Amino acid sequence: MAEIKDPENTLILETTKGQVVIQLLPQVAPEHVARIKELAREKAYDGVVFHRVIDGFMAQTGDVQFGKQGSETFNPGRAGMGGSSKPDLKAEFSATSHIRGTCSMARSQNPNSANSQFFICFADAPWLNKQYSVWGQVISGMDFVDQIKRGEPVKDPDSIVSARVAADV
C-alpha cells in the first residue's frame, strides 16, 4: 500500500478485486472531494457495483441509488441512472489532466449534474480534460482496477466492498 501522507484526504476503496488507495484533491475540486468523503462516511458506496467498464478507457461506479447491492432500490438494469439524495454539484473543471488512475465525477450532458457517480481512468483520456471534475488520483492498487470486469452493462459486476476516508480507519 502507498504511504498515506494526508489521511483526511485519502480514500481507501476495498473492491472485489483488491484495495485501491486514492489521494483526494481538495485544492482542485473542494466540493466534489467533500461529497465523496460525505458519502464514504455514510457508507453509501459500500456494495455499489462497477456498472460501466470500458476496456482501455475507464471503470464507472458510484450509483448509490440503483447500483448498491442489497439495498431496496438495487436494480442492475438501472445502475448508472441514479445518484444520491443529495443535490447535484456545480462543475469544478480544472487544468488537472485525465491520466491513468485519475478519479473524476460522472455526469449527464449538464455540466452541473455530478452527484455520486465517478470513474477511474485506465489510460490517459485527454478529451475529458476541462469537461469533467477531477477529484482524486489512484496512488496504489491500479493493478486491481485493471482487473475489474468489463461491460456496458457489466454482467455479474465487481463492486466496492467498502469506501473509507483513511483518517477514519
We report the CATH number of the domain holding residue 94 as 2.40.100.10
Overall pTM > 0.85: yes
In a domain, 16, yes or no: yes
Structural domain of 120: 7-165
Cell 488520483 sits on residue: 137
Check if the beta carbon of residue 151 is closer than 8 Å to that of residue 61: no
Q: Tell me: pLDDT of 95 over 90.
A: yes
56 band by pLDDT with thresholds 50, 70 and 90: very high
- Model confidence pLDDT, tens digit, residues 7-26: 999 999 999 999 999 999 99
2 band by pLDDT with thresholds 50, 70 and 90: confident
Q: Tell me: pLDDT of 3 over 90.
A: no
In a domain, 1, yes or no: no
In a domain, 2, yes or no: no
In a domain, 96, yes or no: yes
pLDDT at 1: 63
In a domain, 63, yes or no: yes
- Tell me the residue type at 20: V
Pairwise CA distance, residues 81 & 68, whole Å: 12
> What is the residue-wise DSSP string for the chain?
----S-GGGEEEEEESS-EEEEEE-TTT-HHHHHHHHHHHHTTTTTTBB--EEETTTEEEE--TTTSBTTSTT--TTTTTS---SSPPBPP---S----TTEEEE---SSTT-B-S-EEEESS--GGGTTTS-EEEEEEE-HHHHTTSPPBSSPSS--BEEEEEEGGG-
69 band by pLDDT with thresholds 50, 70 and 90: very high
Domain count, the chain: 1
